[in-house]
Amino acid sequence: MILVLGGGGQLARELDGLASARGVALTAPPRRELDITDTDAVAAAIARTKPALVINAAAYTAVDRAETEAAVAMAVNAEAPGRVAAQCDAIGIPLLHVSTDYVFAGDKQTPYREDDPVSPLGVYGASKAAGEAAVRAAAARHLILRTAWVYGAHGANFLKTMLRLARERDELRVVADQHGSPTSTRSLAEAMLLIAPRLIEAAGASASPLWGTYHFCGTGETSWHGFATEIVRAQARFTGRSPVVTPISTAEYPTPARRPANAILDTAKFAATFGHRAPPWQSDMQAAVAEILMEKP
Ligand SMILES: NC(=O)c1ccc[n+]([C@@H]2O[C@H](COP(=O)([O-])OP(=O)(O)OC[C@H]3O[C@@H](n4cnc5c(N)ncnc54)[C@H](OP(=O)(O)O)[C@@H]3O)[C@@H](O)[C@H]2O)c1
């Protein structure tokens, strides 16, 4: 059994769906059933489900709101993961903890590697960086998986916002000077289920080179403007709508939290260790647009 924390989120829902399609035993209670800040509730869930692996997909993900809700962001993204890691470690269960490109400042000229120093620009990134540190300190058997620009059919995300705006507006103004790699929940969930048996197997050994920090995101890179342009092109086949996508600068779209200009993650370590890369981000995006628009034409 795999226990996924944060079962209401877009990644967790994708994991849940994929696992049931594949006959993988996985349970993903949403926050109302299991709050990760409630240590006793997490202990009870672990005792009840007896998981071979815990995946922490729960997070406070409101990047801008985090600027004024630092205590909540830290409680969910930093303190709770540290306690979950300690609980897993005490009984020898591995923890797969999801983290983010926003732990980096974004001023590097090349893709970020796992061992580059973290230097978050905002409270959300700082809380996630603190969560990574807490997990590393509390559990030897951990895998921290940093990903970026996550979208999918479930939940709120940039792709779904662009689909809505493409319906409502004739012009979309989108930031062109922040770069990253769009990552579908489908590819991310597939990668996580692919590595899950390796982590479960490694947990039985006293030491394994598998534990540590990895990057996984869609293959290739673009800007938010490039991402939006391709989303608009993909949806046009279903809707016939072709709004203009105008590039703007970060300065023209001020937000409470600063975001990294370069959020591109180097995924070579994951590929070398697990022999797997995500598909090109464009093909994943097209599949997601088709899935969403064919469900809700
Ligand atoms: N979305 C992105 O672009 C992105 C990029 C890089 C990394 N990540 C990371 O990917 C992981 C999955 O994020 P996601 O995209 O699936 O975000 P999401 O859709 O916002 O899901 C996060 C889930 O965590 C739940 N949650 C919040 N506080 C909780 C608590 N105290 N106990 C239990 N559950 C709680 C939320 O519940 P409520 O809805 O009730 O608040 C939500 O269902 C996170 O670690 C995130 O930091 C995301």
Dist CA 186 CA 153 (whole Å): 9
Annotation says 124 is catalytic: yes
Tell me which residue of 127, 128, 103, 126 sits closest to 114, measured CA to CA. Answer: 103
Q: How many helices (H) and strands (E) does the chain have?
A: 10, 12
Q: Which class is domain 2-157+182-220+263-279?
A: alpha beta
Question: Is the beta carbon of 42 within 6 A of some atom in ligand 1?
Answer: no
The pLDDT of residue 201: 93
Report CA(94)–ligand 1 centroid distance (Å): 20
pLDDT at 294: 87
* C-alpha distance from residue 30 to each of 12, 35, 41, 58 (Å): 9, 8, 12, 9
**Burial of residue 48, with CB atoms counted within 10 A of its CB: 0-12 exposed, 13-18 middle, 19 or more buried:** exposed
Maximum distance among all Cα pairs of the chain, rounded to whole angstroms: 59
Q: Is 155 in the pocket of ligand 1 (CB under 6 A)?
A: yes
User: Which atom of ligand 1 has the smallest separation from the CA of 62?
Assistant: 20
* Residue 100: how many other CB atoms lie within 10 Å: 27
**Residue 199 neighbours by CB distance under 10 Å:** 23
Q: By three-state DSSP, how is residue 173 classified?
A: strand
Tell me the residue type at 34: L
Measured between alpha carbons, how far is 102 from 258 in angstroms, rounded to an integer?
10
Task: Determine contact, residues 4/59, Cβ cutoff 8 Å.
Answer: no
Mean pLDDT of the chain: 96
Alpha-carbon distance of 254 to 181, in angstroms, equals: 22
pLDDT at site 297: 44
CA within 13 Å, CB half, 167: 10
Average pLDDT per 10 consecutive residues for the chain, totaling 297 residues: 97 98 97 97 97 98 96 98 97 97 96 97 98 97 97 95 97 97 98 97 85 97 98 95 96 92 96 97 96 77
How do 222-223 and 179-180 pair as beta strands? Answer: antiparallel
What's the pLDDT score for residue 137?
A: 97
Q: What is the pTM of this model?
A: 0.96
Ligand 1 pocket test, pick from 95, 150, 188, 215 with the greatest ligand atom count within 8 Å of Cβ, gives 150
4, 31, 39, 61: residue to mutate for ligand 1 pocket, most atoms within 8 A of CB: 61
Do residues 10 and 157 touch, judged by C-beta distance below 8 A? Answer: yes
Cα 279 to ligand 1 centre (Å): 23
35 lines ligand 1 (CB under 6 A): yes
- What sign for the dihedral angle of Cα 187, 19, 144, 64? positive
